[in-house]
Amino acid sequence: MIDLTNINTKLWQEIMDNCGDIRKCFNCNTCVAGCPAAEGTPPLFIRNLVRKVLLGLEDELLDDETPWLCVTCSACEEMCPMGVHPFEVCLAIRRWQSKNDETYIPAATTEIFETGHTQAVGQAKDKRKEVGLEEVPPTIIKFPELLKKFQEMLRNTDIVRENDYMFKD
Amino acid sequence: MKYGLFLGCNVPAVRPDVERAIRLTMPRLGAELVDLEGSACCPAFGTFPSADETASLAISAWNFSIAEEKGVDLITECGSCYSSLRIARSKLLESEEKRKQVNKLLKPTGKKFQGTVKVRHLIDVLFNDIGPEKIRKSIKYPLENINAIVQYPCHTLFPSEIVGFDSPSGRPHMFQELVEALGASVQTYSRELQCCGGAGGFVKGSFANASEFAFKKLRAIKKETDAEFIVASCITCLQHLDRMQDELNKKNGNNACSLPVFDYNQILAVCMDFKPKEVASISTISRDEFIKRITKK
């Protein structure tokens, strides 16, 4: 039995901001059938996530880590017969979780803030030299003055402003 | 033909031999590559798109503005970069409100998003702008009597209305024809269009299941085809199918699954007689014997 005593009836509106109309989901399972992460433990079942959102089960949704298993292949996005945009639902739930519990904010966002990249692009000098490339590629890592501007831009975003202790130059 | 080479993060840091192969092969085919100085992460779906959409779109817009200043479309190998940038562009073009928000953020940096350039994947450019015939004529060592399988990058297939260039999305053919242009026979199998499973959080969050998912594909390749190598055109597919064969062999205590995995521009570069040490030197499953067989060196 699902306990509906402590629900957030506005939850679906908070989530639906950047995805399709999730009210059209009728649990057909197409988003699960072709999903690699549906084979995870616990599995990612987007249709179940949509149910949680529509029922307003806020606490359960906040504790549910399965949206982070998504491989981003977007096959569900192609196949959903109701235009719910399951992949966008997945990302919208992650954003909602990140906003309501900062421990969800991916560490890679701070790496991008610090270096402009998710990988140590500036540390691959020997590897790059060996294959005949310039040691540092002409990306943001090569131009400190651009990286500074990039960081200034991100300082004006909600995520960095609200969690400024995480984001260091 | 002039394109802005969008490098992303994984190619220049982890597999620079792929970058080298792209930089050598594309100009040989008449495609001039220009650098996008100051470009950053696309950003990857597991980063800003999972935390703050406006910040995420601002980073994509930062990248677009660099290509816009040069008046070139962005070209990329990485499936995630391709999809992230395509989806961001589509969202920005659809919503004036979002365009206003990101341009407000960009303003102090002196940059602006105008929406004047597109994002292209290498497969798209190689097939539609250059064409298999020109590629066929460009190579020195054809892959005669060699069987291949191709790994279609899912980020170039779905959602087709935003990322697609092949048709129909459920039965793509361009990548296969590009590999056939090198002289190889491409075989199909039951799990051909299944994702490699290497992107996003599946491997990190559920390693045993993610491995088993990849093993199913590898077992199907071994059982249903006589493939002697795998061709990818996405940094994640390339690394994951390479690594997962090693994991499968460790599990089985043998080397039964050891198919060399190449990025398309890497195998193209080898066929064009560029130095394998520069264009195909980094892998887990050895590609040396296979390259020797092709180049007879």
pLDDT > 80? residue B156: yes
Query: Which CATH code fits B2-121?
Result: 1.20.1050.140
Q: Where are the domains of chain B?
A: 2-121, 131-295
Instruction: Render pLDDT for A49-93 as a digit per residue (tens, 0 to 9).
Output: 999 999 999 999 999 999 999 999 999 999 999 999 999 999 999
Q: Is the pLDDT of residue A1 over 90?
A: no
**Cα–Cα distance between B76 and B122 in angstroms, integer?**
6
Q: Do B158 and A106 touch (CB under 8 A)?
A: no
Select from A39, A4, A119, A48 the least CA-distant residue to B203.
A39
User: How high is the mean pLDDT of chain A?
Assistant: 96
CATH class of B131-295: alpha beta
Task: Determine the pLDDT at residue B169.
Answer: 82
Q: Which residue has the tokens 């960081």?
A: A151
pLDDT by residue (tens digit) across A88-129?
A: 999 999 999 999 999 999 999 999 999 999 999 999 999 999
Secondary structure (3-state) at B150: strand
B114 Cβ neighbours under 8 A, 6+ residues apart: B65, B68
- The CA distance from A102 to the nearest CA of chain B, in Å, is 9
Query: Taking CB atoms and an 8 Å limit, are A106 and B17 in contact across chains?
Result: no
Minimal Cβ distance to A121: which of B12, B23, B202? B12
pLDDT (0 to 100) of residue A2: 85
- Give backbone dihedrals phi and psi of B232, rounded to 5 degrees, phi first: -120, 165
8 Å CB contact between B62 and B111: yes
- Other beta carbons within 10 Å of B82: 28
pLDDT digits (tens, 9 = 90+) for B190-205: 999 999 999 999 999 9
Scanning every residue of chain B, which has its alpha carbon at the shortest distance from the alpha carbon of A35? B195
Alpha helices, DSSP H, located in chain A? 11-15, 30-33, 46-55, 58-63, 75-79, 86-100, 107-115, 125-130, 144-155, 158-162
Residue B145's pLDDT is what? Answer: 96
- Partners of B282 on chain A (C-beta within 8 Å) are 127, 131
Sorting pLDDT into bands at 50, 70 and 90, what band is B103?
A: very high
Whether ipTM tops 0.85, in short, is yes
Confidence grade of residue A18 (pLDDT, cut at 50, 70, 90): confident
> Mean pLDDT score of chain B, rounded to an integer?
97
A72 with B80: Cβ contact below 8 A: yes
User: Measured between alpha carbons, how far is B156 from A144 in angstroms, rounded to an integer?
Assistant: 33
Check CB contact of A7 with chain B, cutoff 8 Å: no
CA atoms within 13 A on the CB side of A37: 28
Q: Tell me the β-bridge partners of B262.
A: B231
Chain A residues touching B105 at Cβ < 8 A: 153, 156-157
pLDDT in tens, A130-153: 999 999 999 999 999 999 999 999
Q: Which two tokens stand for residue B105?
A: 């953020």
pLDDT higher than threshold 90 for residue B36 = yes
Q: What is the pLDDT of residue B142?
A: 98
Q: Which residues of B touch A101 (CB under 8 A)?
A: none
For B10-35, what is each residue's pLDDT tens digit?
Answer: 999 999 999 999 999 999 999 999 99
B218 pLDDT tier (thresholds 50, 70, 90): very high
CA distance B108 to B96: 20
Paired sense of beta strands B73-76 and B147-151, if any: unpaired
Amino acid B108: pLDDT: 98
Q: Is B205 within 8 Å of A40 when comparing Cβ atoms?
A: yes
Q: Where are the beta strands (DSSP E) in B6-123?
A: 32-35, 73-76, 119-121
Contacts 24+ apart (CB under 8 A), A84-87: A84/A19, A84/A20, A84/A21, A84/A22, A84/A24, A84/A25, A84/A31, A84/A50, A85/A19, A85/A20, A86/A31, A86/A46, A86/A50, A87/B159
Query: What's the pLDDT score for residue B170?
Result: 84
Nearest CA in chain B to A66: B205
Nearest to B41 among A75, A117, A132 (CB): A117
Domain boundaries, chain A: 11-104, 107-162
- The answer to whether A135 touches A142, Cβ cutoff 8 Å, is no
Instruction: Residue window 101-140, chain A: list those with CB within 8 Å of chain B.
Output: 104-106, 108-109, 112, 116-121, 123-124, 127-128, 130-133, 137-140
Cis, peptide link before residue B260, omega less than 30° from 0 = no
Give the model's pLDDT for residue B141. 98
Q: What is the pLDDT of residue B214?
A: 98
Q: Does A146 touch chain B (CB under 8 A)?
A: yes
